[in-house]
């Protein structure tokens, strides 16, 4: 019974820690607002109403949440495989551009094919951009943080070049620094009349449940989690470490690419070369969601609500940048709680090391006395 209660507490610790981190961050944000002379209660009231009160507000929250959930899922599967994928932004950009190019070409195909082809192009583009760092890690040991950062900048520069210099080949508009508008048949269908909400949120939530099933109910998911926990143990068990992390990074890129498709085919109707910044926020979404697909849905909704409600906070004489501060405080609070949670294990490890050192230094002395 005691063991079962400990398992229950362990299972609940992650979600409770995330909730506690959010509360701490909101309180800290309120303190900052009060110290700067703003009314924190009015600011949070404006944020709440702008994010959750009325169908339009809810729609805007879901619009902001969609790419964050998909990007967070992409970060999560890479993290489960032991990879820290900072390249979500670049993968999202490439996927969004690929989807917009396919959607803007009038290929004379039946209308119902444009959306699937655009999503497929986004998945392929994002998947390739995820494959590169995974392959380099598996074959050369190149650290994924370095390669994904470099690929982020490469994606931005490459897409900008193609948009500005290759208008004779691709359906792009250099004057808008964007692709041409996608054809009507390539637009993601709206699901709430009178709002901008499209099926991207359905794709995001469905992807979360699919990823949950893959991670915790399939052999491949077991391999991913085993590789992430212990590459040595996975190799001993016959799991190909390089292949597993490469596939995980491809899936990560596919999810990020779909997030980009939601922006170019659903929200804007074209791909702008200005980086959206969702990829970096998606990393925070993954961390707050504890890299669990279902937790990432809630985390994505939280960050989506903060983004949707940020402009309304200005009505309470609060800079909308305070939302970025709150997001940072949430991550900081979660990191601090994680450190506190690991302190017993760290102390135990240090104690074992100290005992080993003492045993190593006293062993020769014992041998001399016995002689």
pLDDT band at 371 (very low <50, low <70, confident <90, very high): very low
pLDDT value at residue 345: 61
Q: Phi/psi at 190 (nearest 5 deg)?
A: -80, 145
Structure token digits, residue 157: 């520069």
CA atoms within a 13 Å half-sphere pointing along the CA-CB vector of 192: 17
Greater confidence, 30 or 89?
Answer: 89
Structure token digits, residue 143: 């650290």
Q: Could you tell me what percent of the chain has a pLDDT over 70?
A: 89
3 has a pLDDT exceeding 70: no
Start-to-end Cα distance in the chain:
52
Q: Please state, rounded to an integer, the average pLDDT across all residues of the chain.
A: 86
Question: Structural domains in the chain?
Answer: 55-315 (1.10.3470)
Most confidently predicted of 135-139, 309-313, 348-352: 135-139
pLDDT value at residue 4: 52
DSSP, residue by residue, 76-139: HHHHHTT---TTHHHHHHHHHHHHHHHHHS-----GGGHHHHHHHHHHHHHHHHHHHHHHHHHH
Alpha helices in 166-292 (DSSP H): 200-217, 219-229, 231-236, 241-261, 278-288
> pLDDT tens digits, residue range 9-32?
455 666 777 777 788 888 888 888
Q: What is the mean pLDDT of residues 157-169?
A: 84
Which of 131-143 are b and which e, b meaning 16 or more Cβ less than 10 Å from the residue's Cβ? bbbbbbbbeeeee
Lowest mean pLDDT among 93-107, 223-237, 246-260: 223-237
Has this prediction a pTM greater than 0.85?
yes
Q: Beta strand 172-173 with 178-179: parallel, antiparallel or unpaired?
A: antiparallel
Lowest mean pLDDT among 57-71, 229-243, 307-321, 357-371: 357-371
Greater confidence, 25 or 162?
Answer: 162
Per 3-state DSSP, what percentage of the chain is helix, strand, and coil (rounded to 5)? 80, 0, 20
Whether the Cβ atoms of residue 302 and residue 331 lie closer than 8 Å to each other: no
Count of residues making up the chain = 371
pLDDT band at 199 (very low <50, low <70, confident <90, very high): very high
pLDDT band at 201 (very low <50, low <70, confident <90, very high): very high
Q: What is the mean pLDDT of residues 274-296?
A: 89
54: left (phi over 0), alpha (psi -120 to 50) or beta: left
């Amino acid at each position: 019974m005691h063991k079962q209660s400990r398992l229950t507490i362990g299972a609940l610790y992650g979600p409770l820690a995330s909730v506690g981190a959010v509360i701490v961050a909101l309180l800290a944000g309120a303190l900052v607002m009060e110290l700067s002379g703003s009314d924190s209660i009015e600011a949070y009231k404006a944020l709440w109403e702008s994010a959750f009160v009325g169908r339009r507000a809810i729609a805007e929250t879901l619009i902001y949440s969609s790419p964050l959930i998909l990007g967070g899922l992409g970060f999560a599967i890479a993290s489960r495989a032991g990879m820290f994928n900072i390249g979500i932004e670049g993968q999202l950009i490439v996927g969004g551009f690929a989807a917009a190019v396919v959607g803007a070409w009038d290929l004379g195909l039946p209308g119902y094919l444009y959306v699937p082809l655009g999503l497929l192009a986004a998945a392929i583009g994002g998947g390739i951009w995820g494959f590169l760092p995974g392959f380099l890690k598996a074959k050369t040991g190149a650290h994924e943080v370095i390669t994904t950062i470099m690929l982020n900048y490469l994606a931005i520069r490459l897409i900008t070049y193609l948009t500005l210099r290759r208008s004779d080949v691709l359906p792009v508009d250099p004057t808008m620094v964007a692709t041409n508008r996608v054809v009507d048949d390539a637009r993601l269908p709206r699901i709430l009349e009178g709002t901008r909400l499209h099926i991207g949120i359905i794709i995001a939530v469905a992807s979360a449940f699919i990823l949950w099933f893959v991670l915790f109910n399939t052999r491949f998911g077991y391999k991913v989690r085993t590789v992430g926990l212990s590459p040595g143990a996975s190799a001993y068990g016959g799991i190909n470490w390089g292949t597993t992390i490469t596939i995980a990074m491809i899936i990560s890129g596919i999810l990020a690419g779909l997030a980009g498709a939601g922006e170019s085919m659903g929200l804007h109707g074209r791909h702008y070369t200005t980086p959206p910044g969702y990829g970096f926020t998606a990393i925070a979404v993954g961390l707050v969601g504890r890299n669990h697909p279902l937790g990432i849905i809630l985390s994505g909704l939280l960050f989506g609500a903060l983004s949707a409600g940020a402009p309304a906070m200005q009505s309470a004489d609060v800079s909308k940048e305070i939302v970025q501060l709150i997001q940072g405080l949430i991550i900081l609070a979660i990191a601090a709680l994680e450190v506190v949670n690991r302190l017993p294990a760290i102390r135990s490890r240090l104690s074992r090391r100290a005992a080993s050192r003492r045993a190593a230094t006293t062993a020769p002395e014992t041998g001399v006395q016995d002689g």
